[in-house]
Structure 1
Amino acid sequence: MTKRFFVGLLFLLLISCGKNEKPIVAFYYWKTIFKLSPTEKEVLLDNEVSKLYIRYFDIGLHPQTKEPIPISPIRFQENSNAFDIVPVVFIQNKVMLLPNLDIDDLAQKTIRLVEEINAKNKISCQEIQIDCDWTLKSKDHYLKFIERFKQLSHKKLSSTIRLHQVKYFKKTKIPNVDSGVLMYYNMGTIAPDAENSIYSKKIAERYLESLKKYPLHLDFALPIYSWGVHIRDQKVIGLRSKLNVSELEKDSNFEKTGTIFFKVKKSNYKNGIFYEEDDLLKIEAISAKDLKEMANDLDENLVQAPREIIFYDLDEFNIKNYEKNIFKQVISCF
């Protein structure tokens, strides 16, 4: 009787410990050259980060032949051996929409390039991630590509998942991967109005309940980036990276006309982009409050706790917008 009691008590303690285990902090690294700044190294050290998801290359279409080609493969200017590296390959959906796509050839070439980058930089990886916002029209090619890639790579395979793919998974289907990463951002339409296209609690709430029914294990990717929506004559003409409110407040060429809106006072170039007089910039960003709200909302709709929270993306420009312990605050919500 006593023995049975202690076995039962141990079982309950193990369950309890499992529930209290917090997800780890990880980051996406989305530049074409791997070289960490002192600020980036500091945030990795402070948050005990051991895992980086590094964009190795994109796959797009050759402008003339319309054949799949790798775009901007990463170059390592710094040793990455201190981290568990997960190569990420971003595949443009138009590749999967090709009517005569040679799936076997694409899978083989993709794996070969990943292996070449790993060999050149003495990287040994256990996992590869495929990032593609597949649609109903491209899903058959995408799912077949995942199957073939998994057969050939002999690696753990993860896939990025969008909110609409969670809610409508019976139609969009679920890729045959070991786990998914829900990209909890880019939810709205990029428009001249005041809505934030990166994150909207109102839009997110349409999908959150679906998480309880999604059969694939999910970790979560949360945004820490900002951008400017460039508006001319009430039309969006582009997205401008590496822009935030404080950056524009310091620039005399721009006049603040609202909480997130700036007007171009006189024509100028900024970060290589030409801005005409009277153009508008709408700054879309994610606050610390937004991040904690996202984490709490996700936690309330979970069946299975995430193992990782991956922040997009590791960049000094992004990190400086937050207090030092924000990443630990966010994972404490789970």
Structure 2
Amino acid sequence: MQLKAVISICKILDLFDAKWPVILKNFCLYIVLFVVFISCQRTETPIVSFYYWKTNFNLSPLELETIKENNVEKIYIRYFDLDLHPKTKQVYPVSPIHFTKLPNIKSIVPVVYIQNKVMLDEKFNSQDLANKTNDFINLVNTKNGLSCQEIQIDCDWTLSSKTNYLKFIEDFKRISAKKLSATIRLHQVKYFEKTKIPNVDSGVLMYYNMGTIAVKSLNSIYDQGIAKRYIKSLKKYPLPLSYALPIYSWGIHISQGKVIGLRSKLLASDLDSSANFTFIEKNIYKVNQSHYRKGVFYKKEDVIKIEAISADDLKEMASDLKENGASSPKEIIFYDLDELNLINYEKTIFKQVVTCF
């Protein structure tokens, strides 16, 4: 398109060759080429995708509306986790997905979350694990009449487990014969020469869970200061990356000065509306009286620290990633598609975020 425009303009300039000085003619041509060059550098807005991380697939009206409004064509569905059985020490699938309703969407990507201890197991057998993982994915697909062209492996491998992990990726890619993607953490981007790069078609940078879950820490889900220590390395990272951004929240449950658990999908508004909690400061609440809430016991004087992601946080993430990334990502994946997360944002937030790139 741009080339045809240049040719056409050159022909027009040739018509005025006798009247225009050569310098002026060349100057105009340089201007045209510069404009065309700049237009070629413009990239398309990334598409919006979502992770689905519940064990029962049954989209609510709000979740369906969000998919439709954002023209979502791909959902990354957690199919199952892989863990070591506490007694037999055998690898087994944990909480496999159950489809109450089938996804009415163009593309689904099964995601398998693998505990790092699986990779560290002294009896680790890469080919056997790859075969069993692929077989179980196929079993889920066959049972539900589904198909996929891509599979994603989610594992926070370490220096100790990298050899086994990289071997597993090689075996699984060969056995599955599918397009393969892998999740990438910030430390794996900065120190990729040590942690190595899995042999996958693309990666997804998990831009969350950055800090330490502790009594006096800042927001452990997202901390711009921590992120900036790592993202300057993005331009050097050889693997094409999409970005996964958080839209979830949780409460850090603290008792007698110690963290005793994470309470998922917990918001400040949940505690504000309950007589059992008193607001102390910022995101801190105190338990007024001992009680049970959704099966969890809250003891009087316990403390809950709420950590959440605001719309401004999401835009800040997008801005920093755009500034430091090697190229514009093709896709932004929000974690995760759940109406308990969606109700905390205005409907256009996802479009707002992707247009920041």
TM-score, normalised to structure 1, is: 0.96
Amino acid at match of 1:102: N
1:314 equivalent among 337, 344, 348: 337
1:117 equivalent among 129, 137, 140: 140
CA distance in 1, matches of 2:315, 2:50: 17
Q: Deviations over 1:121-156 (max 9, x none)?
A: 111101000000000000000000000000001100
Please say if 1:277 is aligned against 2:278: no
1:152 equivalent among 168, 175, 190: 175
CA distance in 2, matches of 1:154, 1:194: 43
- Shift of residue 13 of structure 1? 5.3
1:142 equivalent among 152, 165, 170: 165
Q: 1:43 to 1:12 in 2, by over 3 A?
A: same
CA distance in 2, matches of 1:59, 1:11: 53
CA distance in 1, matches of 2:4, 2:202: 38
CA distance in 2, matches of 1:133, 1:295: 23
Secondary structure (helix, strand or coil) at the match of 2:152 reads: strand
Amino acid at match of 2:59: L
- Shift of residue 318 of structure 1? 0.3
- Shift of residue 5 of structure 1? 3.7
Please say if 1:331 is aligned against 2:354: yes
- Shift of residue 259 of structure 1? 1.4
- Shift of residue 81 of structure 1? 3.6
Q: Is the 8 A contact 1:179 1:218 kept in 2?
A: yes
Please say if 1:259 is aligned against 2:282: yes
1:57 equivalent among 57, 61, 80: 80
CA distance in 2, matches of 1:153, 1:55: 17
- Shift of residue 82 of structure 1? 2.3
Q: 1:85 to 1:175 in 2, by over 3 A?
A: same
Q: Deviations over 1:176-224 (max 9, x none)?
A: 0000000000000001115100000010010011001000000000000
Gap runs ≥5 in structure 1: none
What are the within-5 Å matches in structure 2 for residues 74-89 of structure 1? 74-89=97-112
Secondary structure (helix, strand or coil) at the match of 1:130 reads: strand
Please say if 1:209 is aligned against 2:210: no
Secondary structure (helix, strand or coil) at the match of 1:309 reads: strand
CA distance in 2, matches of 1:288, 1:12: 34
CA distance in 2, matches of 1:160, 1:258: 36
Please say if 1:37 is aligned against 2:60: yes
CA distance in 1, matches of 2:292, 2:86: 28
CA distance in 2, matches of 1:130, 1:227: 24
Q: 1:255 to 1:3 in 2, by over 3 A?
A: closer
Secondary structure (helix, strand or coil) at the match of 1:20 reads: coil
Please say if 1:132 is aligned against 2:132: no
1:219 equivalent among 229, 242, 247: 242
Q: Deviations over 1:80-119 (max 9, x none)?
A: 1423100000000000001220111100000000011111
Q: Is the 8 A contact 1:59 1:68 kept in 2?
A: yes
What are the within-5 Å matches in structure 2 for residues 156-171 of structure 1? 156-171=179-194
Q: Is the 8 A contact 2:111 2:154 kept in 1?
A: yes
Amino acid at match of 1:324: K
2:69 equivalent among 42, 46, 54: 46
Counterpart in 1 of 2:201?
178
Amino acid at match of 2:178: K
Counterpart in 2 of 1:303?
326
Secondary structure (helix, strand or coil) at the match of 1:160 reads: strand
CA distance in 2, matches of 1:269, 1:304: 49
Where do 4+ consecutive residues of structure 1 move more than 2 Å?
2-20
Please say if 1:6 is aligned against 2:17: no
Amino acid at match of 2:64: K
What are the within-5 Å matches in structure 2 for residues 9-28 of structure 1? 16=39, 19-28=42-51
How large is the Cα RMSD of the aligned pairs?
A: 1.9
Amino acid at match of 1:308: E
- Shift of residue 235 of structure 1? 0.6
Q: Is the 8 A contact 2:43 2:328 kept in 1?
A: no
Counterpart in 2 of 1:200?
223
CA distance in 2, matches of 1:249, 1:3: 62
- How many residues end up aligned between the 2 structures? 333
Gap runs ≥5 in structure 2: 11-31
Q: Deviations over 1:252-290 (max 9, x none)?
A: 000010110000000011111000000000000000000
- Shift of residue 16 of structure 1? 3.0
Counterpart in 1 of 2:314?
291
Q: 1:253 to 1:172 in 2, by over 3 A?
A: same
Secondary structure (helix, strand or coil) at the match of 1:230 reads: strand
Structure with the greater alpha carbon radius of gyration: 2
Amino acid at match of 1:175: P
